[in-house]
A and B are shown apart, each in its own frame.
Chain A
């Protein structure tokens, strides 16, 4: 077997491995931002207790993010941007579903009465989600501009 062929194969495998690792890092980062950090910020600002996510569902979501992250880094940069944007938008969707679309309801005991309390924090959530989308667009543009520089 030709030695240059083997070197070429090794270089290819290294590149694939590098892409996969960067994809995994990307996926984990997106998972942390959208599933852990953003809901935590919302819950901290609104003084609410966090509703725990089913561990199996969390694993599914993480797997989904990893798969999209790996695809995004493995394909050509311009196609990768599409997967990056899909990843970000689905992340925002998950954030919205975790914080239950900006409404939080509970039943408390007040002076011996059982009182149903509903707290609506949609404006705060809209600001966070709106800026999230802005950052997604900005990241997309910075990836488009980079190859041309």
Chain B
């Protein structure tokens, strides 16, 4: 009585797993093909005053899988990009002059898998 239901459940598990796992598989594959797939560039543009500078953050990304909730930790500031898709994404921000090192990156692959990278 329950056998057809079990088979259909197994089929739906496999389909759902394939759908959920495919962004991660494509992302990993593209990253292994091109290790420079994600590049973050911070360039200072002009001095605002003695303590702060205006800077341009450029994120280059090569994969077709979008990155959601992209967060860049520079010094004590957090710069948030809602979505990073293939190509270049730029944003102009203000930073402190003496504390402008990139300390961490956080993002979600296709909005599902969270990645956090923090320099120690």
Chain A interface residues toward B at CB < 8 A: 45-47, 107, 113-121, 123-124, 127-128, 131, 134-135, 138, 141-142, 145, 149
**Interface contacts beyond A123-B20, A134-B9: sample of 6 additional A-B pairs, CB < 8 Å, sorted by A:** A45-B24, A116-B117, A121-B24, A127-B16, A135-B6, A145-B2
Binds A, one of B39-47, B53-61, B83-91, B107-115: B107-115
Query: Assuming A107-B120, A114-B119, is B16 touching A120 (CB within 8 A)?
Result: no
Contact call A115/B120, Cβ cutoff below 8 A: yes
Q: How far is the CA of A145 from the CA of B1 in the complex (A)?
A: 9
Q: How far is the CA of A47 from the CA of B113 in the complex (A)?
A: 13
Contact call A123/B2, Cβ cutoff below 8 A: no
Chain A minimum-CB-distance residue to B5: A138
Contact call A113/B119, Cβ cutoff below 8 A: yes
Chain B interface residues toward A at CB < 8 A: 1-2, 5-6, 9, 13, 16-17, 20-21, 24, 28, 112-120
- Point out the residues of chain A lying under 8 angstroms from B112, CB to CB: 123-124
Contact call A131/B13, Cβ cutoff below 8 A: yes
Report the minimal beta-carbon distance from B20 to chain A, rounded to whole angstroms: 6
- Point out the residues of chain A lying under 8 angstroms from B113, CB to CB: 119-121, 123-124
Q: How far is the CA of A119 from the CA of B17 in the complex (A)?
A: 18
- CB contact between B117 and one of A46, A115, A123 (< 8 Å): that residue: A115
Chain A minimum-CB-distance residue to B21: A45
Report the minimal beta-carbon distance from A116 to chain B, rounded to whole angstroms: 5
Chain B minimum-CB-distance residue to A113: B119
- CB contact between A131 and one of B2, B9, B115, B119 (< 8 Å): that residue: B9
Q: How far is the CA of A124 from the CA of B18 in the complex (A)?
A: 10
Some 8 contacts from A to B, beta carbons below 8 A apart, are A46-B24, A114-B119, A117-B116, A117-B117, A120-B116, A121-B24, A124-B17, A145-B2
